[in-house]
Structure 1
């Protein structure tokens, strides 16, 4: 009795297994139903208690009016504290007009333009209590 080779048997089993894995039906994997993606998302996004609390919060919120919108100007913030204690000293802007000219190794005409730069190179701040208004 001749002995047959069993080396090709694992290859055949693997091929049969792979070809059967691709034979599933789309409708079996992704069943159709009356729910939309928004319904599924809403049902999974938050527990019902949290959703109810959020709805109650939305009904209790008052709309912003002009008085409430202006209130942040009266609150203390780091920016307000810095600007109220350390005021910027005046640093006037100088306007310079550059006349039309030729520039570069190949003389290219540049039209005239105006530019603005500060008088002092650095911004200076007054110490707390130091007067910044004109005398």
Structure 2
């Protein structure tokens, strides 16, 4: 017991001093990685994005489906609902809503004329 009472304060002082020794400023890491990236960054490759030069020539799954199976026209109808009262007497302001004429969108078969 006497040994424990001597060693416990000594250990707590060591742990406190060890915590004060730590530097609060984070070290800047990754300088080597930044240098490696800058040296190996090849900017001569063309940009493959929608805004890039190859935007119209890139074939993707989405553009192939749109080209092969175009959506048939499905007109959108606009309807104005006049102001009215609910069955409990609460006022509902007038609003505009829209909905499609057909419930589901239909797709044309490949090479089918619209």
Q: Same fold (TM over 0.5)?
A: yes
So what's the TM-score if we normalise by structure 1? 0.64
**Displaced runs of 4 or more, over 4 A:** none
1:17 aligns with 2:14: no
Query: In the superposition, relative to structure 1, how do residues 18 and 85 fare at CA in structure 2: closer, same or farther (>3 Å)?
Result: same
C-alpha distance in structure 1 between counterparts of 2:58 and 2:103, whole Å: 33
When the two chains are superposed, the root-mean-square deviation of aligned CA atoms in Å is: 3.0
1:52-73 deviations in Å (ceiling 9; x for gaps) = 4x22344x52597xxx724222
Deviations 1:26-62 (A, max 9, x none): 3x4439xxxx756x3234x62xxx724x22344x525
Q: Which runs of 5+ in 2 are unaligned?
A: none
TM-score normalized by structure 2? 0.74
Whichever structure has more helix as a proportion of its residues is: 1
Aligned: 1:128 with 2:104: no
1:14 CA drift (Å): 4.1
Structure 1 or 2, whichever has the larger Rg, is 1
Residues 72-125 of structure 1 show CA distances to partners (whole Å, capped at 9, x for unaligned) of 2221100110000000000000011111110142x1111211111000001110
Shift of 1:12: 1.4
Structure 1 unmatched ranges of 5 or more: 1-7
Choose from 113, 116, 123 the match for 2:98. Answer: 116
Q: Secondary structure at the match of 2:77?
A: strand
**Equivalent residues, number:** 109
